[in-house]
Chains A and B, each alone.
Chain A
C-alpha cells in the first residue's frame, strides 16, 4: 500500500490544490485594512489556531502601520505636491515600503510555517486587498479515493 502510494507520488510531480480558504476583511472598524482573525474551520486540522491568528494579527498590524496618517505621510504628501508628484518616480511611498515588508513577512511565514503543513498564503495585494487566500494542497498520489476525501487522505498520509 505504501509502495503503491509512493509510486503514485512519483508519477505525479506536482501537488494538487485541494481547496482554497479565503480570509475576508474585517470591516467592523470601517474601511481600514483589517482581516478577520476568526480561524476558518477548513484549516482546523492543518495548522494550529494560534499560529494562524498570529500571522493575521501581524498582517493587520502592518496594514495599520501603512495606513497611519502621521508625520511621515504628511511630509510625503507635501514633498509630492512641491515636486508636482515627480518624486513618486524616485521614491517609494510609505505604503509601498510597508507592502514590501508584508510581502517579505508572508514569504517567510510560508517557508517556515505554512509550506511544511501543505498550505500557502497569498499576499492580499494580489487580490486587491480583499482577501487572504490560503491554498490547501494535497498530494494527488496519496488521495486515491474520492475527491471529497482529499483532505483527510492527505492528512493521513502526513
Chain B
C-alpha cells in the first residue's frame, strides 16, 4: 500500500481564554494532504487485504496476511502518533520573563555549546530567546523544540517529541510498500492468464499506487536515516548550518541513533494546557449533562404532553422541579501532579467561582504583542476551550491536533527536496517529478484545522484530548501589544508567519533566519540583524519561498532602495525562472492556497501594532552591498507597515510552481553559485558555509553578551539587574495578571508573624514569610 507519507500533527497553539466566539477561518485546504495520505494508505491496504491476501494465504501461508497486517498496524500507529502528538511546543513566555529586556536587548544571544558559538534568536511571537535547535513554525505559529520540519502529510510539525514516530513511520511505510508491491507482484505473476479479473485489476492498481509512492518515501526514509546518523535536523540540513562546520549536537552515530529511538518520551509543557482542574470541571459537566439528558428529556416530553391540560401549569412546575442532584465534589487527584487535597479544593473553589478563563489561560490573553496573530489566537482559543489536559503525559495517539496551525509536511518529497544538504542521500529521487509535493508542498498555507472539532469529539473527559486544547491555549499569548518599549517589543511587530516552517506559508510570510546563520557579519554593536543566507533552494520551494517572502517582507518593512534593488536583482529573477520551470502541481489550487496564505499574512500584518525589536537598519547600511541578503536581517522582527501590504500580492503565484526535485536541484546549484559570488564579494552575506559562520558568530559574540545575559553591548558593561525598576513597572501595570495562577491571586490570609499564604503554580499553597 502506498501511502503517501504524511507527517502532521497538532501543534499546540495557545488560545485566548476569553469567551468570545472565535471567528476562526476554516482552512480546509490544510487537511487535503493529510486526507489524501490517509485515504491512500488505508484504502490501498484495504484493497490489498481484500483482493490479494486471500489467495496468498491459501497459496502460501497465513503468515503473509499476518505479516502485512502487523506492518500496517505499525505504520498506522506511528502515523497517528506523528500526526497527533505535540512536537514539543514551547508555550509563550510570560510577560514577566520579558521584563528584563529593555530597548537595548539584542536580537540574538550567543551561547557556547561544546566550544561552538551558537546564536539564539529572539522570538517576537513567543517572547523568549529560542533555545538551540528550536525554531518557530509559521504554519503552527509556535516555537518547536528540536524543530525538524513541518510536514503537510501529517499536518503537524515534527519536533523533539514526535520525531521518533515520524522516523519509524517512514521506515515502516517503506517496508509496507515493499511488502504490498512484492506480494502484489507475486499474485500477478501467478495470474498472468487471468489479468482481466477484478482481483487482478485491483492488485495491479494497488501495485501502481505502491510503486508510485515508493520512490519518494524511500528517498525520504534514506534522507532521514542519514540525518539521524549525523545527528542533524532537517532544518539544519536544509539551511546548511553545519555545511563544512562542526555539529555541536552530535554524539556519534550510535548515540545519535539510540537517542532518537530509545530515549524516553519527553513531556509536554504543563502551561500548554488549561489548568487540569478546569479540565476536570468541564469533563464533569459533560458527564453530568449526559447523565441527566434522559430525565430532562422526559421532563420536556411531559411538559408537552401535559401542556394541553388546563391544570398543567402546576404539574409542569412539579414535574420539572425535580432538579438533578448537584454533582459530587470531584476528586481532584491527578496522577501527574500530586497536590494536597486542601489545595485542590481551594483551587477548585477558586476556579469555580471564576469565569471560564482560568488564571493560566488568563495570562495568555492577547496582551502579548504578537501583531496580526489575533485571528489565529481566536481560532486557537476556541479550540482550546473545548478541551483541556492535565499533566505532562506523553499523550500518545490523542495528543491530537493542538493547534489549528497549518502543517507543512516533509512527506514524500522531502527526501528529494534537499539535494544540497543531503547530497549523499538519494539526491533527487525524482519523487517530485511524480507530482508528489512532499516537503515542498509544505509551503502551501493550509487552513487551520478546526481543532475544536477534533478536541470536542475527543471529549472533555479524555485527558489526552485536552492536550490539544493546550495548544490552542497558547494562542492567547499572541496579540495585543504591550506598552513595553524594549527592542524585542519592536520586533514583535513582525508579520505573524514566522520562519522555520518549510512550507509554502513561508512563501508569503517572512521566515525567521536560522540560528546558525552564517550571514553577513554584524555591522553595528547591539544590532544583530545579519542578512539571512539564501535558503537552500535545493530543498525546493519552502526555502525559496522563505527567501522570497523575506525579500518581500524586507521590501515591505524597509522600503529601501537596496531591498527594491535586491528584489529586482537578476539573482532573484533567476531563482524565479528556475523554480517556475519545474513541473508544477495544479497551478490553480496552488494559487488558491497561496492566496489563502497570502490573505492570512495580510490579515496578520494588519494587526501589528508594536514597535519592532530594535536592530540595526541592515538594509540601509547594506544597500551598497548587493550580495548581502537582507532577509536574514530583518524580516520577522521589523515593523510591519500596513501601507506595504499591496506589494505582497504579485509574488505568490510564481513561487508556487517550484516543486519538482529537478527544479529544486537546479535552484540549489544556483543558490550555491550565488552564495559563492556573494562570499567572494566580501560581504559574506550568504555566508561561505561553515567558514563564514564562525566569523559571524565570533563577531556576534563580541557584540553581545553570552550565555544568558540579555544585554546589548551598548548597555553598560555590568549586568545591571533591572529588578529595582521592576516593581515600578509591575506596579504601574494595572490589571496585569501574573502568570502563576495563584501567586498573587489567592486571597491569602495572614497567619501571623508576617507569614502570607500564597498559592503557587499548580495549586500548592506555600506560606511565605514577608
Contacts and interface: CB of A to CB of B under 8 A. Distances in A.
Nearest to B725: A148
A15 B744 contact: yes
Nearest to B165: A85
Contacts of A41: 719, 721
Contacts of B94: 127, 133
A120 interface: yes
A76 B397 CA distance: 16
B459 interface: no
Contacts of A19: 723, 726-727, 730
B258 interface: yes
Contact of A20 (B97, B267, B747): B97
18 contacts: A14-B758, A16-B744, A19-B730, A28-B112, A31-B146, A72-B264, A95-B266, A115-B766, A120-B740, A126-B269, A126-B271, A126-B762, A128-B91, A130-B93, A137-B768, A139-B754, A148-B727, A158-B754
A48 interface: no
Given A27-B113, A103-B337, A14 B756 contact: yes
A98 B393 CA distance: 12
Interface residues of B, number: 92
Given A18-B726, A86-B396, A127-B93, A99 B267 contact: yes
A127 B363 CA distance: 12
Contacts of B112: 27-28
A129 B249 contact: no
A23 B643 CA distance: 41
B249 A30 contact: yes
B226 interface: no
Interface in A28-82: 28-31, 36, 41-42, 66-67, 69, 72-74, 76-77, 80-81
A15 B146 contact: no
A90 B141 CA distance: 32
Nearest to B731: A147
B769 A89 contact: no
B246 interface: no
A145 to B, nearest CB: 11
Contacts of B392: 96, 99, 125
B270 A125 contact: yes
Contacts of B336: 96, 99-100
Nearest to B258: A69
B49 interface: no
Nearest to A117: B769
A127 B269 contact: yes
Q: Specify which of B338, B749, B754 lies most central, judged by the most chain A CB atoms within 10 Å of its CB.
A: B754
B114 interface: yes
Interface stretch (B126-134, B575-583, B626-634, B659-667): B126-134
Nearest to A21: B723
A142 B750 CA distance: 14
A139 B114 contact: no
B591 interface: no
Given A27-B113, A139-B770, A110 B723 contact: no
Contacts of A95: 264-267, 394
Given A17-B743, A95-B267, A128-B90, 11 more contacts: A9-B750, A31-B145, A89-B464, A93-B267, A95-B265, A100-B338, A110-B766, A127-B97, A135-B760, A151-B723, A151-B727
A149 B766 CA distance: 24
Interface in A102-150: 103-104, 107, 110-111, 114-120, 122-123, 125-131, 133, 135-139, 142, 146-150
B235 to A, nearest CB: 14
Interface stretch (B39-47, B73-81, B309-317, B608-616): B73-81
Given A66-B264, A81-B74, A137-B770, A13 B761 contact: no
Contacts of B258: 69, 74
Contacts of A137: 756, 758, 768, 770
B261 interface: yes
Contacts of A14: 744-748, 756, 758
Contacts of B90: 128, 130
Nearest to A71: B262
Given A13-B747, A85-B396, A122-B761, A30 B769 contact: no
B262 A120 contact: no
B724 A148 contact: yes
B754 A157 contact: yes
Contacts of B73: 84
A77 B261 CA distance: 8
B335 interface: yes
A49 to B, nearest CB: 16
Nearest to A95: B264
A4 interface: no
Scoring A18, A111, A115 by chain B CB atoms within 10 A of each residue's CB, the highest score goes to A115
Nearest to B263: A69
B131 A27 contact: yes
Nearest to A72: B264
Given A30-B113, A31-B146, A158-B770, A67 B264 contact: yes
Contacts of A94: 264
A118 B263 CA distance: 38
A130 B128 contact: yes
B756 A25 contact: no
A123 B762 contact: yes
